[in-house]
Amino acid sequence: MALIQAARGTQLRCKGWRQEALLRMLENVLENGENQKELLVYAALAKAARDWPSYEAIVKALRTMEEDETLVIQSGKPIGLFKTHAFAPLVLMANCNMVGKWATSDNFYKWQQEGLIIWGGLTAADWQYIGSQGVLQGTYEIFATIGRQHFNHDLRGRFILTAGLGGMGGSQPLAGVMAKAAILAVEVNEARIDKRIAAGYLQQKTDSLDAALAIIREAIERKEPVSVGLLGNAAEVYPELLRRGIIPDIVTDQTAAHDLVYGYIPRGYSLEAAEAMRRDNPDRLKADAGASIAAEVKAMLAFKAKGAVVFDNGNNIRTQACAYGVEDAFSISIFTEAFLRPLFCRAIGPFRWIALTGNAEDIRIIDDYILTHFADNSIVTNWIGLARQYVPVEGLPARIGWLGHGERTRLALAVNAMVADGTLSGPVAFTRDHLDAGAMAHPNIMTERMKDGSDAIADWPLLNAMLNCSSMADLVAIHSGGGGYAGYMTSAGVTLVADGSEEAALRLKLTLQNDTGLGVLRYADAGYEEALDEADKKQIRRIKLEQA
């Protein structure tokens, strides 16, 4: 099988740049993905398409469709092309959405095996994944916030312990170094460690805990940042550190703990043994993985009791541990509520843009524009400086930047103008993570402990998707959880193409304003003062009910 890479340059294979952009985004998630042969992008199960015939059919549809048609995709399988109009979305997707009581991991595995469904992750099946950079700033902002809250704004000489170096967790070592900490990342799959080193996200590798700790100790003494990948199992390493009396300053985990069959590798298992058990006795594998997660989380709780800052990084590890007997697992904080919710209240979140021609100079030009025209935004200007220094290019050149309501629109319209006047070499795609203000309902991650108790209300991401369709976005997707996430979440994704046209400017303006506007109102509706303030300041038309 030929290796898939996103096309570069300005030559079109499709009938317009909107279609070409989405095709390149599809190719890009596979170029950046974990297992291209299986169409797997990240998180053990998140796929770009249902199977290879589906992938080929999607490519053919994108290459031949007109601008006034809409491609409909169901769980990674193209269903049909429909005549709509030139301002309608080019692609509509629904991935892994199951009905109520049927939304279980067992049903997901059954229907996946029968070829009826895939899990799209958050950004895999809707072609928005840009490599580990996609969550890098969010991880950095978490570490930086912990530094401000607990360590007098300074993580130099501090020890971060984490695990997991897959498509999401692979951002952690670089984020730790950018925050000036010494970070140890435990990973059971040596190929993932090697991949992060090759990509520039990880500095050192060892299979010895003693050697890893020696590197960490030296960095702490010198107050120098360092990242170390330790080949090992977190369910064994975390308790061993505890036994030795070594208490990190910060502890988390970003393994594939959400999935007990295809994700988390139990203690005592090799990768090959897990693969064999997955085939021969998946129930035994699930039980062993659950017991291992319980052991790891018990160690995390013990670290917390001894003074470490411990948090769940969004992989359902507390949920799994609770199911396997760790009753106080949820005394560990979730990262969104603990560190990021004030930003989400103002719809400040993980916005991203991709240079579709493959020209990294386009990203540099946009960086310069941000540093000049968003100089009063310390979050994004600080980030751009760090990203230029540390973040390598993966696949098509891209950048993430946490921007809020109005800011995303300003940037996108400016970029569209730069495409039009030739300042940039070609069109730019704009998208965001699903973990955004109005785009996700997940009671154990994004919406845990909402002020009004609306944690599990899934209307918001559905409204977000419908509003973005009404606003003429180029691609709109609705996702729900698969594997161990089944029944736990619903989210919405959106992609827009800045091709320099007046029509693109209209799409960008309407979609980005409405996407973030709804995000502000979601938190305002829940009673958050920051969101109410943002709605008033930005003149978002919130409907206020008259009280009897």
Question: Which domains are delineated in the chain?
Answer: 155-331 (3.40.50.10730)
Q: Under a CB-based contact definition with an 8 Å cutoff, are residues 490 and 122 in contact?
A: no
Known binding-site residues equal 167-169, 187, 192, 233-234, 254-258, 264-265, 483
Mean pLDDT of 138-163: 96
Structure-block tokens of residue 342:
């004030």
pLDDT at 1 over 80: no
Per residue in 453-512, pLDDT tens? 999 999 999 999 999 999 999 999 999 999 989 999 999 999 999 999 999 999 999 999
Residue 152 burial (C-beta neighbours within 10 Å; 0-12, 13-18, 19+): exposed
Read off the pLDDT of residues 260-303 as tens digits, 9 standing for 90 and up: 999 999 999 999 999 999 999 999 999 999 999 999 999 999 99
pLDDT for 44 equals 87
Looking at residue 337, its pLDDT comes to 92
Please, which pLDDT band fits residue 43 given cuts at 50, 70 and 90? Answer: confident
Mean pLDDT of 63-80: 98
Q: How confident is the model at residue 168 (pLDDT cuts 50, 70, 90)?
A: confident
What is the secondary structure of 73-142 as a DSSP string? EETTEEEEEEE--TTS-SEEEEES---GGG--HHHHHHHHHTTS----TTTTTTT---STHHHHHHHHHH
Q: Is the dihedral of CA 296, 298, 302, 307 positive or negative?
A: positive
Sign (positive or negative) of CA dihedral 129, 132, 133, 138: positive
Residue 2 has pLDDT above 80, yes or no: no
Helix/strand number for the chain, H first, E second: 19, 18
Alpha-carbon distance of 383 to 459, in angstroms, equals 33
Average pLDDT value for residue range 222-239: 98
Can you give the pLDDT at residue 167? 85
The predicted structure's pLDDT at residue 305: 98
Encode pLDDT of 73-126 as tens digits: 999 999 999 999 999 999 999 999 999 999 999 999 999 999 999 999 999 999
For residues 248 and 182, give the distance between their C-alpha atoms in angstroms, rounded to a whole number.
10
Of 73, 27, 107, 133, nearest in space to 481 by CA: 107
Q: Kindly state the average pLDDT of the residues 215-222.
A: 98
pLDDT digits (tens, 9 = 90+) for 324-358: 999 999 999 999 999 999 999 999 999 999 999 99
- DSSP secondary structure string for all residues of 223-286: T--EEEEEES-HHHHHHHHHHTT---SEE---SSTT-TTTTPPPTT--HHHHHHHHHH-HHHHH
Contact 78, 71 (CB under 8 A): yes
d(CA 320, CA 394): 32
DSSP per residue, 132-151: THHHHHHHHHHHHHHHHHHS
Banded pLDDT at 21 (limits 50, 70, 90): very high
| Helical residues (DSSP H) of 33-77, grouped into ranges | 52-64
pLDDT attached to residue 519: 98
Q: Return binding residues for NAD(+).
A: 167-169, 187, 192, 233-234, 254-258, 264-265, 483
Q: What is the mean pLDDT of the chain?
A: 97
- The three-state secondary structure class of 388 is helix
The pLDDT assigned to 473 comes to 98
With a pLDDT cut of 90, the percent of the chain lying above it is 97
* Cα gap 371→140, rounded to integer Å: 19
pLDDT digits over 181-196, tens only? 999 999 999 999 999 9
How many C-beta atoms surround the C-beta of residue 501 within 10 A? 17
Name the residue type at position 195: K
Residue 395: per-residue pLDDT = 96
The pLDDT value recorded for residue 37 is 96
The whole-number pLDDT of residue 132 equals 85
Give the count of beta carbons closer than 10 Å to the beta carbon of residue 101.
Answer: 8
pLDDT the model gives residue 547: 78
**SS3 state at 497:** strand
Task: Tell me how far apart the alpha carbons of residues 119 and 482 are, in angstroms, rounded to a whole number.
Answer: 5
Q: Which two tokens stand for residue 29?
A: 């998630």
The answer on pLDDT for 315 being more than 80 is yes
CA atoms within 13 A on the CB side of 149: 13
Q: What confidence category does residue 452 fall into, taking pLDDT thresholds of 50, 70 and 90?
A: very high
